[in-house]
Amino acid sequence: MTPEAYIQTGTTLKWLLGIAWLLPLVGFAVEIFGGYWGKRFDPASNGKKTKLAAYMAVFCIGTGFLLSLSAFFIWKGATDVQLVTAAHAAEHGESHDGDHGDGHDHHDGHDHDEGHGHDAESGHDQDESHEHPHSNETLPPADDVRGQSPEEAEDHEGHGNDPYAAAFSGTFYELAHFGDLRISIDYYIDGLTLLMFCMVTLIATCIHIFAIGYMSDELTEDYEDHFVHLPGGKHFHRPGRFYRFFAFLSLFSFSMLGLVLAGNIFQVFVFWELVGVCSYLLIGFYVERHSASTAANKAFIMNRVGDFGFLIGLMILWTYFGTFQFANTDPQAAGDLGLFQMARDSHGQLDVVDTEEGKIVHLRGSPEDSERSIPYWLLIAAGIGIFGGCIGKSAQFPLQPWLPDAMEGPTPVSALVHSATMVAAGVYLTGRFYPMFTPEVLLTIAYIGCITLFIGATIAVVATDIKRVLAYSTISQLGYMMLALGVGGWGAGLYHLITHAFFKSLMFLCSGSVIHGCHHEQEMTKMGGLYKKMPITCWTMFIGVVAISGLAIPVLNVGLAGFYSKDAIVASGLAFMSGNATHFLLFFVPLVTAGITAFYMFRLWFMTFAGPPKDQHVYDHAHESPSVMTVPLIILSIFAIGCAWFGVLEGWILTSEPTHVAAGGTSAHHVALTLPSHDAIHGVHHTAGTAALFAAVVGAALSAVFYWKGLVDPAVIKRSFSGVHHFLVEKWQFDNLYDVMFVRPVHVVARWCTSFDKNVLDAFLHSLSRMTVVASSWDRKFDETFVDGLVNIVGTSTYRVGRSLQVVQTGKLRQYIMFIALGVLGLFVLLFMFFPRT
Amino acid sequence: MSVSEILNGLIYGDLTRSIEVFCPEVLLCVTVIVLLLLRLFSLDHKIPPYVIALGGSVVAFVAVLLQFVFFTTGGAETNLGAGETLFSLFQLTEAGVGSPGELFTGLLMHDAFTLFFRLGLTFFLVLVVALTVLTGIPDNEDGPDFYTLLIGSTIGMMVATSANHLLMLFLGVEMMSVPSYVMVGFLKGRRSSSEAALKYVVYGAGTAGIMLYGLSLIAGLLGTAEFAELGPRLAYLIDGDGVTLSNPNIVVTLLGVMMVLVGLAFKLSLVPFHFWCPDAFEGAPAEIGGFLSVASKAAAFALLVRFLLAMTASGGGELESLNLYLGLALGVMAAVTMTFGNLAAYGQTNVKRLLAYSTIAHAGYMLMAVSAMLVITNAAESSGWSAAQVQDGAARCVEGLMYYLAVYLFMNLAAFAIVALIRNETFSEEIEDYNGLAHHSGTMTVLCVCMGVAMFSLLGMPPFGGFFAKLLIFASVWNAGSIHWLMWALVVIAGLNTIFSLFYYLRVLKAMFIAPRPEGVRSINMSGLVGAYVVVITLPILLMGASPLQNNLSATARYVASVLFP
């Protein structure tokens, strides 16, 4: 691509995505004001509100999706990326045929011609190992750093050896420039950005449409909130907030897209906080419910804990790197490298040097400050700090308890914000910031993910609230993603992010449909047998359950979306374990949890839809949702089935993979680690896949035994393991632990502070104020007697004069005439008295 | 000069030019005739009289406006899009409207000063007619009569502002007074109204008699009645005889001038010739009060300035001491008037009466400018003022006066209009009945806020127009203080008076805004049109205070004033 074409493409992408990003903001503004005024100035509505706000929001986000999609095609056409990579085919080929080992590194010599169709199943079923290209051909290593001199840079054009060849970065608008600090609104567009855009806008569109139906009972002037009990057994009444809901959704969409589009880490932080605010607003949508408002607070505060780490990371990065930008990919801009380019060379290697003060990392940059470096441990600290933000946002251990409580928000919010997009932003950022993470940080990430996925899954087993099961499942799945990223499976983690977004939002919407149909009943113990009442919801939910469980047809190896991505994760874990035997947990825990996942998901489905109705009242009133709610379910279920097929998705993700990931490598700076290469992962794919599938089938079968066929009574198990059960029901005691560790100490300290304030500071202030009062009362006496007295004398005397003047105004005509004469005479006399006589 | 000579002179002399300049007055006369003819042919039931009156006054206003624009720009390029067409429609010519000078063989004067006042008067007429339409004070039966009187009075004022002859002075004053006597008594059924009209008539007749006496003394002494001749002839008459009471000519002059001033003082309601004012205003409808308080005062001030300038036009010489003496006497009169007006307003319970005293006080403020003008133009050589300084100082005085009148037009009209509009709803003009009016919703609140603006402007609070008007006058008077210390004293008294006036203006606002709304008062619904009208006439008060318009207006006033002091 010539520099001109590059710039042109970059500009087109920038505007397409920029508009897609800003449209929801416009929508937000219109909805929040229009909603307010529309209510007052629409006499025809008769108190019944219009759905205009919803249409506006759907229009904005839907247009955003179309723009994102067209941006994707423009990007694909303009760059040389191969979506259906041979690497993908290789994985599947291998999973059938076993070992190709390292061999396919040398299977090159194949130019992957565009015409070669990977149509339908054939791409998976046939052995296409002969097509394996060099795995680096997708992301060929560049032999030089960017931007050294224009000639050199141009020289590299068209060779495809630029690690950022398919990425476009630049600046929308520079906000401020303080010395070296540039605060600007940047963009960084590569395959991952585009993928996130398409995913977010597509899911958001579906959820917006779903919400039109789900929130329709807000379309009234008198909404009765059955969950708010007022004294006297009454319920709380308030005007409906339909428009407000959609305004918040639009604001959230804007913030989320901004987060994804951001070209520098500071901007990410800004939008990071913005999505946090939107999440806060949406969780607390039913603000009158005590549980909702406390849940919103909890989410907000816990996220702030993580953001504290984020801020520390930002400070370290700014101090040592002097820039916030991810990478500068403009072929014509010399100098001004981004963070990734400074930290790693074009082969993706860190330049670590041992010095007397310890290990330092040499940073690359413009020649004049070639001596820039950062201590290795600080790079670790920065990485862990940034990851701390991701822990908060993605509800990872130990900051996971906010997510289940966040289910107090309306279900579309849970589907959009708390499963598909915002909570996945932590994973996205970990993936985006991958080049800045040292192996030590990656290990931390892996273990955090590992702990989280296990905790989440175990609690989900005993949860009975349908949305909470899904929430714990989300936590667990996010843990999977983190684990994958941590063990070097960069593609696997983000792969699972996308597939999970589809099937989890699908399941949330299904649960929303159930809740809507059952008149806001969320307890699964009162459901059952609903498959007759709501068939569409039932079967779309089933698709979601199968997808998340990772079930597949064993021989054909065809499964739903979750099967592929979970396979990739487990394979990464296995490959990592084979390199680092001490970290065997990173393989076995996810493997076992895959079984648990299948168990609790099928448990949910059986309890809700299968078997006899458990509560006749709920069952009798249940009904299928209107089509405005079921159509999004069907759309999403199509994606939950097929989004991973043909390898397009995986190939798309891999176009953005950081250069150093594919080759793997060992590191022994502080912790000895071997990160698996792509080849190593391919090598164990089949084994891992089979194991995971086996685990899932076992889990699903157990679930059927317990909850469908009722062969074993779950209550018996519950009794015999009552200690464990209680422990799980209490969510591993996290809430109690935090209560004891943080909340109560804070309360105690606060009480001390209050008493100090009251007894010492206030006493002092009160005495001061009392003295002032005494002094001012003296002052007042002086004022009243002397100053006021004087003023009053003047006032009353002028008033008296004024009154006396009226006496002349008698109203008698005779006197008036006499006054004329007297006046003239008087003037006469006066004039002549003062005029010089001689 | 025989009658035939005069006729010939009229016909072959400046008649065409005179008619061209006099066109707006002629148009108003035509309006009056149409109104009366309508009545004659009983068409006044088909066409409401106010339509004719409004149309006629608007046309007259446009005619004056065009004259003003033509005069100031010399008929050159104007901002008015259709300027050229309109100029030719009214047949404005360079020799006619374009050039200042005498009209009708010297009876009237045509210059920027006159034009400015005529412009203001016609504009004011339009506003008052609009107000009467809104308040409906003349019903259809009385409409033609009422508008005939209103327009006739306005014609008289316009004649008075362009008077260039003692005869025209008297005619002008009488022409504007006689219709106003009738208008004051227009509410025939009300005893107080008739009584007020009678008082006004008798009082007016008395002062007119005195003024006529004064005019005859002056004309007899100087042998002419033309303004242009008065000054030089006086100088010629006194020449070398000394300006003391031992000189009988001086005594006669002094008497004559003083008696003419009594006539004008009646129109300006200066103390001690103000007795008619509170009674007449209380008895008359508020609309008429507003009309009289602004229009007849403006005309009388124009007349006063012109007459005094004519009398003192001798320029230098021994008469200066006489003129200075006159100026100081006016200053004393101004001080007494404003103090009396403000203090007497204290105890009033009727809003119209209160406003009547307020207009007396304001006449005092404005008279200050006239007195300072006389003092400055007759500054003795010893005071060290150069000719240019004198010119500039005097022009500033007149500028202040005109600026004050322009702002006064809006703020007084707004106050009276609001009183009239509230009267239509509550049937009361007592201050205590204004309690809690601001707590009504809708248009009434707008009215109260506008009343607040008008009152604060009358009071002279920044940033309203009234503040800048007072500032201009006070500054010019203070300027004159270096000639005679009395001027400084005058400024101090005026400042004190401003503080005095605080009390009674705020009493009205206190009743409106702070006092609670009495129990059981029905809520008031007024049409939005009323609110719009009030806002439209209140807005200029703000614009003349804190907007670029202030600069434009004062620049125009300066230009107009400078014409008087060549």
- Model confidence over A614-663: pLDDT tens digits? 888 888 888 888 888 889 999 999 998 888 888 788 888 888 888 888 77
What percent of chain B is predicted at pLDDT more than 70? 96
Q: Chain B within 8 Å of A753 (Cβ-Cβ)? A: no
pLDDT for A91: 47
A816 Cα to chain B: minimum distance (Å)? 7
Of the candidate ranges A480-494, A563-577, B13-27, B292-306, the one whose mean pLDDT is the lowest: B13-27
Instruction: Say yes or no for a CB contact (<8 Å) between B198 and A813.
Output: yes
* pLDDT at position A419 over 90: no
Instruction: Say yes or no for a CB contact (<8 Å) between A828 and B500.
Output: no
**Which chain B positions have a beta carbon within 8 Å of A814's beta carbon?**
none
For residues A598 and A588, give the distance between their C-alpha atoms in angstroms, rounded to a whole number: 16
Q: What is the pLDDT of residues B56-111, one digit of tens each?
A: 999 999 999 888 888 887 766 555 556 667 777 777 777 778 788 888 888 899 98
For residues A337 and A370, give the distance between their C-alpha atoms in angstroms, rounded to a whole number: 12
Q: What is the pLDDT of residues B514-526, one digit of tens each?
A: 888 887 777 777 8
Query: H-helix or E-strand containing A188?
Result: strand A181-189
Asked if A541 contacts A507 with a C-beta cutoff of 8 angstroms, the reply is yes
- Residue A714 sits in the same domain as residue A791: no
Look-up: residue for tokens 């963009």?
Answer: A187
For residues A57 and A500, give the distance between their C-alpha atoms in angstroms, rounded to a whole number: 24
3-state DSSP percent of chain B in helix, strand and coil, to 5: 75, 0, 20
A797 Cα to chain B: minimum distance (Å)? 11
> Which comes out higher in pLDDT, residue A528 or A763?
A763
The verdict on residue A375 lying in a domain is no
Going from the C-alpha of A122 to that of each of A87, A127, A131, A556, B58, the distances in angstroms are 15, 9, 14, 11, 90
**Which chain A positions have a beta carbon within 8 Å of B344's beta carbon?**
802, 805-806, 809
Of the candidate ranges A798-807, B292-301, B490-499, the one whose mean pLDDT is the lowest: A798-807
List the single best residue of B195, B346, B358, B360 to mutate versus A (max A Cβ within 10 A): B346
* pLDDT at position A46 over 60: no
Query: H-helix or E-strand containing B101?
Result: strand B101-103
A803 Cα to chain B: minimum distance (Å)? 6
- Residue A673 sits in the same domain as residue A718: yes
Asked if A717 contacts A612 with a C-beta cutoff of 8 angstroms, the reply is no
Instruction: Say yes or no for a CB contact (<8 Å) between A816 and B262.
Output: no
For residues A646 and A204, give the distance between their C-alpha atoms in angstroms, rounded to a whole number: 24
List the single best residue of A824, A828, A834 to mutate versus B (max B Cβ within 10 A): A824
Query: H-helix or E-strand containing B561?
Result: helix B548-564
Instruction: Say yes or no for a CB contact (<8 Å) between B207 and A820.
Output: yes
SS (H, E, C) A42-77: CHHHCCCCCCHHHHHHHHHHHHHHHHHHHHHHHHHH
Q: Cβ contacts of residue A709 below 8 Å, gap of 6+?
A: none
Instruction: Say yes or no for a CB contact (<8 Å) between A820 and B198.
Output: no
- Residue A600 sits in the same domain as residue A739: no
Asked if A283 contacts A296 with a C-beta cutoff of 8 angstroms, the reply is yes
The verdict on residue A110 lying in a domain is no
Domain finish residue from A426, A449, A481? A426
* pLDDT at position A157 over 50: no
- Residue A194 sits in the same domain as residue A217: yes
- Residue A683 sits in the same domain as residue A832: no
Asked if B29 contacts B158 with a C-beta cutoff of 8 angstroms, the reply is no
| Closest B-chain CA to A820 | B273
List the single best residue of A809, A814, A820, A838 to mutate versus B (max B Cβ within 10 A): A820
* pLDDT at position B446 over 50: yes
**Which chain B positions have a beta carbon within 8 Å of A830's beta carbon?**
329
List the single best residue of B213, B217, B275, B276 to mutate versus A (max A Cβ within 10 A): B275
- Residue A246 sits in the same domain as residue A274: yes
Pairing mode, strands A168-178 and B108-110: unpaired
The pLDDT of A475-499, averaged and rounded, is: 91
Could you say which residues from 189 to 228 on chain B have a Cβ atom under 8 Å away from some Cβ of chain A? 198-199, 202-203, 206-207, 210
> Cis omega before residue B463 (within 30°)?
yes
The verdict on residue A351 lying in a domain is no
pLDDT for A35: 63
pTM value > 0.95: no
- Residue A701 sits in the same domain as residue A783: no
The pLDDT of A351-363, averaged and rounded, is: 81
- Residue A150 sits in the same domain as residue A212: yes
* pLDDT at position A456 over 80: yes
Domain finish residue from A426, A461, A494? A426
The verdict on residue A111 lying in a domain is no
List the single best residue of A814, A822, A835, A837 to mutate versus B (max B Cβ within 10 A): A835
Asked if B204 contacts B264 with a C-beta cutoff of 8 angstroms, the reply is no
- Residue A334 sits in the same domain as residue A469: no
- Closest Cα partner for A657 from A191, A264, A260, A194? A191
Which pair of tokens denotes residue A482?
């983190």
Q: Chain A within 8 Å of B1 (Cβ-Cβ)? A: no
- pLDDT band for position A451 (50/70/90)? very high
- Residue A773 sits in the same domain as residue A677: no
Look-up: residue for tokens 């150093």?
Answer: A660
Which pair of tokens denotes residue B68?
């003003």
Total structural domains in chain A? 4
Going from the C-alpha of B229 to that of each of A125, A771, B492, B557, the distances in angstroms are 123, 79, 37, 27
Which pair of tokens denotes residue B4?
């035939």
> Which comes out higher in pLDDT, residue B167 or A353?
B167
pLDDT for A154: 39
Instruction: Say yes or no for a CB contact (<8 Å) between B347 and A834.
Output: no
- pLDDT band for position B10 (50/70/90)? low
Could you say which residues from 100 to 119 on chain B have a Cβ atom under 8 Å away from some Cβ of chain A? none
Which pair of tokens denotes residue B430?
């007592």
Look-up: residue for tokens 């679930």?
Answer: A703
Look-up: residue for tokens 């609690």?
Answer: A459
- Least CB–CB distance from B278: residue in A809, A837, A838: A809
> Which comes out higher in pLDDT, residue A111 or B369?
B369
* pLDDT at position A447 over 70: yes
| Closest B-chain CA to A834 | B325
Q: Cβ contacts of residue A544 below 8 Å, gap of 6+?
A: A503, A504, A506, A507, A510, A637, A640
For residues B260 and B248, give the distance between their C-alpha atoms in angstroms, rounded to a whole number: 18
Domain finish residue from A395, A426, A457? A426
* pLDDT at position A309 over 60: yes
Cβ-Cβ pairs closer than 8 A, A with B, add up to: 80
- Least CB–CB distance from A811: residue in B262, B279, B345: B279
The parent domain of residue A748 ranges over: 735-807
Which pair of tokens denotes residue B312?
């003192």
Cα dihedral A382, A388, A389, A391 sign: positive
pLDDT for A122: 40
Q: What angle do CA A716, A722, A725 make, to 5 degrees?
A: 100
Cα A484 to the center of its chain, rounded Å: 19
* pLDDT at position A278 over 60: yes
pLDDT for B410: 93
- Least CB–CB distance from B244: residue in A802, A819, A838: A838
B86 Cα to chain A: minimum distance (Å)? 45
For residues B490 and A187, give the distance between their C-alpha atoms in angstroms, rounded to a whole number: 72
Q: Chain A within 8 Å of B311 (Cβ-Cβ)? A: no
For residues A654 and A674, give the distance between their C-alpha atoms in angstroms, rounded to a whole number: 21
- Closest Cα partner for B33 from B118, B143, B193, B144? B144
Asked if B545 contacts B456 with a C-beta cutoff of 8 angstroms, the reply is no
- pLDDT band for position A37 (50/70/90)? low
- Residue A723 sits in the same domain as residue A768: no
- Residue A146 sits in the same domain as residue A273: yes
- pLDDT band for position B264 (50/70/90)? very high
Asked if A147 contacts A164 with a C-beta cutoff of 8 angstroms, the reply is no
pLDDT for B271: 83
Instruction: Say yes or no for a CB contact (<8 Å) between A823 and B346.
Output: no
The verdict on residue A666 lying in a domain is yes
Please provide the DSSP assignment of B121-166 as one string: HHHHHHHHHHHHHHHT-S-TTTHHHHHHHHHHHHHHHHHHHTB-BH
* pLDDT at position A389 over 50: yes
List the single best residue of B343, B484, B500 to mutate versus A (max A Cβ within 10 A): B343
Instruction: Say yes or no for a CB contact (<8 Å) between A802 and B347.
Output: yes
The verdict on residue A129 lying in a domain is no
Instruction: Say yes or no for a CB contact (<8 Å) between B343 and A813.
Output: no
Instruction: Say yes or no for a CB contact (<8 Å) between A838 and B246.
Output: yes
For residues A425 and A394, give the distance between their C-alpha atoms in angstroms, rounded to a whole number: 7
pLDDT for A258: 93
Which pair of tokens denotes residue A90?
């290789």
For residues A412 and A508, give the distance between their C-alpha atoms in angstroms, rounded to a whole number: 7
Pairing mode, strands A223-230 and A234-238: antiparallel
The verdict on residue A371 lying in a domain is no
For residues A269 and A266, give the distance between their C-alpha atoms in angstroms, rounded to a whole number: 5
Q: Chain B within 8 Å of A807 (Cβ-Cβ)? A: no
Instruction: Say yes or no for a CB contact (<8 Å) between A816 and B203.
Output: yes
Of the candidate ranges A200-209, A741-750, B402-411, the one whose mean pLDDT is the lowest: A741-750
* pLDDT at position A678 over 60: yes
To the nearest whole number, what is the mean pLDDT of chain A? 81
The residues facing A17 across adjacent strands are: none
Asked if B488 contacts B478 with a C-beta cutoff of 8 angstroms, the reply is yes
Going from the C-alpha of A208 to that of each of A202, A247, A536, A639, B214, the distances in angstroms are 10, 11, 19, 17, 92
Instruction: Say yes or no for a CB contact (<8 Å) between A837 and B245.
Output: yes
Q: Chain B within 8 Å of A798 (Cβ-Cβ)? A: yes
**Which chain B positions have a beta carbon within 8 Å of A822's beta carbon?**
272
The verdict on residue A356 lying in a domain is no
pLDDT for B121: 94
Q: What angle do CA A310, A314, A320 make, to 5 degrees?
A: 145
Instruction: Say yes or no for a CB contact (<8 Å) between A837 and B246.
Output: yes
Task: Tell me the three state secondary structure of residue A677.
Answer: coil
Q: Which residues of B27-45 are buried (b: 16+ CB within 10 A; e: fewer)?
A: bbbebbebbeebbeeeebe
Q: What is the pLDDT of residues A682-695, one digit of tens each?
A: 888 888 888 888 99
* pLDDT at position A140 over 60: no
- pLDDT band for position A334 (50/70/90)? low
Instruction: Say yes or no for a CB contact (<8 Å) between B325 and A802.
Output: no
Q: Which residues of A442-463 are buried (b: 16+ CB within 10 A; e: fewer)?
A: bbbbbbbbbbbbbbbbbbbbbb
